[in-house]
Amino acid sequence: MSFSFITLILLTIWINMAQLQQGGPDEKEKTTALKDLLSRIDLDELMKKDEPPLEFPDTLEGFEYAFNEKGQLRHIKTGEPFVFNYREDLHRWNQKRYEALGEIITKYVYELLEKECHLKKVTLPVDATESEPKSFIFMSEDALTNPDKLMVLIHGSGVVRAGQWARRLIINEDLDSGTQIPYIKRAIEEGYGVIVLNPNENYIEVEKTKAQVQLSSDSSDEPAEKRERKDKIQKETKKRRDFYEKYRNPQKEKETVQLYIRDNGSPEEHAVYVWDHFIAESAAENVYFVAHSYGGLAFVELMIQREADVKNKVTAVALTDSVHNVWHQEAGKTVREWMRENCCNWVSSSEPLDTSVESMLPDCPRVSAGPLPKRGEIFRKINEIESSDMKTA
């Protein structure tokens, strides 16, 4: 059932109601009946009528897409870029399809990190049992033994995972724009050890058992009166849904429960955990961070919690569109002073590259990333810092 058809039905009901309101008692009774009908309609469920099954391929080939030699996602037969509106008037289905493709791309990027960048996958927690939820990071073979320098990459929030900056850019632009791979390859070429964090991998989802579903809908601790009222509402809701079952074909999506990963239940926890178990233990004399968006907030939280250690080991931090806030995060004066000297935040701006951008917060300098991001600029800045350190020494 298309959205326009549903709209036509609702509009017809409203017109009839408006006409009936002009009449006598019989018409008013019909108006009341129509209002009751409207109150019973669940538009979200109506939109699911005749919706194709939410079943999608689990490979790029199944989607009939592949990355070409330029790293662009293209349709295998037509050569066209990815099309979001694969089926008209089915936004929910199209979104689910997009998400399914995104999960495949996440796995594809993981493979590239191992095969092209020659990084190894390391399980977290480091002492995880076989049965508990686990996460992982990626690192170069020399990440912990390189005596000179180490590069640490932290992405932002949302659906992205290790090795990605933005899923949208991977799908709509190319791998170089949306992944961390160009940074990783350049870092390795210039003699850095590399650690790639995975701050959004905080839990695993498992399907709820029938007992868990029953328990979640059961509120035995609530007062009897409140529980009875809730039960009554639930019964009325179920009655309305059952009444319209013949007009709907809702797809029953699985109910899941989230099992959080020990000591890695949030991006901030993850950053501190990786610092304690890997970065702090590394041999590198100079550690450099590149952190995007929420990754910048995670770094500032790490700085707050491990201030002395970070100051001792970290040489420079390149932030990109960081969303950190030194006031909300209650960063102390010494943290803010260190950030002013050792951090720089490149932000989206139409101004030329490196043009100073006004900041309301007393932390690190903010400068323009230019009309188009230039990946090499991060390394140029870091190399400048290295050169100045050598001259000072």
Catalytic residues: 293
Helices (H), 147-293: 167-172, 175-178, 181-189, 210-217, 224-243, 267-274
- Write the CB contacts of 264 (distance below 8 Å, at least 6 apart in sequence): 124, 125, 135, 201, 202, 270, 273
Number of Cβ atoms within 10 Å of the Cβ of 126: 11
Number of Cβ atoms within 10 Å of the Cβ of 227: 14
Helix (H, G, I), strand (E, B) or coil at 135: strand
CA distances (Å), origin 200, targets 232, 263, 264, 324: 39, 13, 9, 16
Q: Which residue is it, tokens 């090499």?
A: 376
Give the C-alpha separation, 56 to 252, whole Å: 16
User: Whose CA is closest to 136, among 181, 193, 203, 201?
Assistant: 201
User: Whose CA is closest to 36, among 297, 333, 243, 269?
Assistant: 243
